[in-house]
Structure 1
Amino acid sequence: MYSDIVDFIHRLYKTDKFVPLHAPLFVGNEKKYLNECIDTTFVSSVGKFVDRFEEEVAAYTGAKKAVVCVSGTNALHTAMLLVGVEREDEILTQALTFIATCNAISYIGAHPVFIDVDKDTLGLSPKAVRTWLEKNAGLKDSVCYNKNTGRRIKVCIPMHTFGHPVRIDELVDICNEWHIELIEDAAESMGSFYKGRHTGTFGKVGAISFNGNKTITTGGGGMLLFQDEELAKLAKHLTTQAKVPHRWAFVHDHIGYNYRMPNINAALGCAQLENLERYVQDKRETAGRYKEFFAAVPDVDFFTEPDDCRSNYWLNVVLLKDKAAQQDFLEYTNDRGVMTRPVWELMTRLEMFKHCETDGLENTEFLAERIVNIPSSVRLEK
């Protein structure tokens, strides 16, 4: 059975050689814009491509403002600072996530509380969040706090896993009821929409990644999305060392951060963005081919986008019947030139976070033993 899967993936990508999990693609104006950037000598954090990239991403996503930064991790860190997260605060999030989410929480000295995910979205479950809050949280003077620890619960951070949107509107309602800020970890979901609205635009702040393995890339980079223009202005200020504008004086009015995306990376991003819809349509076609193929494969289920979503299918997902089958599949495919990967190690299994409070994580544990990512690069068949 696994041999049929390996053969299909090689045929899908029209090669008998190694098939990577997700490779970047440069088929547009990347070299043109990079050369233009170099010719101007503005290759650092000031230049027209930075402004252009921010404006074009804001227009595409429907955000009022977008602010570039160095990485998706920086974006999450900055987002939490902007909404007032402080040391010892608690953040409701998911254990089924890349470590960047929890690293950013730890930079501030805050504490993650891990809530279960939904099987049909792979992302934070609104029902599980509400259940946990009703059992463990209280409100005092419009501040949400954890009755078990006494700490303030300041923020909820859902992650749109592998580009599949969570039920973000339900989470917005819950957070409003409990006076909790909502930050969207949309690192993987550039090009994904929920009920016609782009991910990253529902919460107070959205964070996107443009790492080399994402749907579009700036090599390394991130973006903050805002509906609040004043908050976006503060984000730009803080991520550029909080320097007060002046022709020659070096005056800084906050603790700032060197989180500025260089113009040369933004030039790459502008070229990539021009092909984003083309890439997403191609990836969705690939997902359709996988769905059709795996429908006839026993004990391997292909994961499809949730209801009301248009997912970018950043990384395609199959679910094996149990942990043993997952490990057999990973070994067989990787031994035969098809790159596959399990989901990230659950945060609660890492030494730094194993002490954190959870709600039991029943679905999370189930999925961690079964998820495998399969090749998902753009194919661009003529």
Structure 2
Amino acid sequence: MHQRPLPAAEADLLDHALVRRSVRLAFPPALERRYEAETRRQRCRHLSLRLAIAVAMFDLFILNDAVMLPDVLALSAALRFVVTGLGIAVLALLRRDPPPFAREGAVAVFVLVAAATLTLMMLLSDAPYREHLSYGQLLVVMYTATVLRLRFPFTLAICAACFALHVVAITELQGVPPQIALHTSGLVLATAIFALLACWSLEREERIIYLQGLAQQRQAEALERLSLADPLTGRGNRRAIDRSLASLASSGGPIGVLIADIDHFKAFNDHHGHLAGDDCIRRVAALIGEAGGNHAELYRFGGEEFLVLLPGADHEQAAGVAEAMRRAVETARIAHGALPAGGVVTASFGVAAGPAERTRQLIDEADAALYRAKRGGRNRIEPGETSPAARPAR
């Protein structure tokens, strides 16, 4: 069973469902749709296998009819042939993953027709032991609840129908003592009640296990996010970079790569202290992240350096984003006490762009460009060696 990531809205519903543990066998609508989507295929396979076994067992009981109902054996064979055809049709429907009501309803119709067939053969026979076929209803209700595990409303309908069929049959049969009629009716009723309790418990347990699985999935997703996030800035860390690079290696298309470095950061740290330095890194990360927009993937590259990946960007677009980030840091006017009066924090950028499968080489190119920007005076952007802007005019 494949589980997709859990959106925040569904996570809230999950918390509510886990705490409440309602006796109702239904989740809130959004969670119910997810449950059905993720379990539908497995549910159809479950029903198909058990229904196929039931069809085979139903046909084999013709041997019992030969002993118990020899006077209607031909009719029994014909009816069982019809019911088998219905079972095959339901199996074909289950292969198409139908909606829940159609799926459960089709199987329930097969079970009800099989139960009604038993009652009909019992009523049409004059064999001396025909009333013993009424015990077949016990098999039907237990099979429905514990083997098929039909959803509770359908199991309830089948149990009620089987009890009604038994009462009708035992009432119509001639020569059945009232004590026997009462005894067998009590057995069928008690079996139906026990079957319903079993069905309710099994379905509730199945749903609780599903909720617990979702909770474990959410916890795993949270741990995964933590393992990919830099604890200081909340941006991607080196592990996240490695994952992105592995994905980009086969993605195709162009990509822009920026490497940013906070200018004179060691002097800032020495002058203001490490706590202020951490706050400076957080603020710069927020500024360049906001300037990059939704399409920029921002990672902390190490220390005061940041890596920005721009999928789909060419040289010109990447340089434009870098310039927007540079201006955002400069205009934030973060005071830099280690510089002359009025000095503010700035950042330098190395820029490269090219095919996504060359991202690792582009990072090296952007890194080399960053060092040129540093040597060239800082608070500037520098294109990589393969950038059109870096090539000498002919």
TM-score between both structures, scaled by the size of structure 1: 0.21
Which of the pair is proportionally richer in strand?
A: 1
More helix by share: 2
Tell me: higher relative CO, structure 1 or 2? Use CA pairs within 8 A at least 6 residues apart. 1
TM-score of the two chains, using structure 2 as the length reference: 0.20
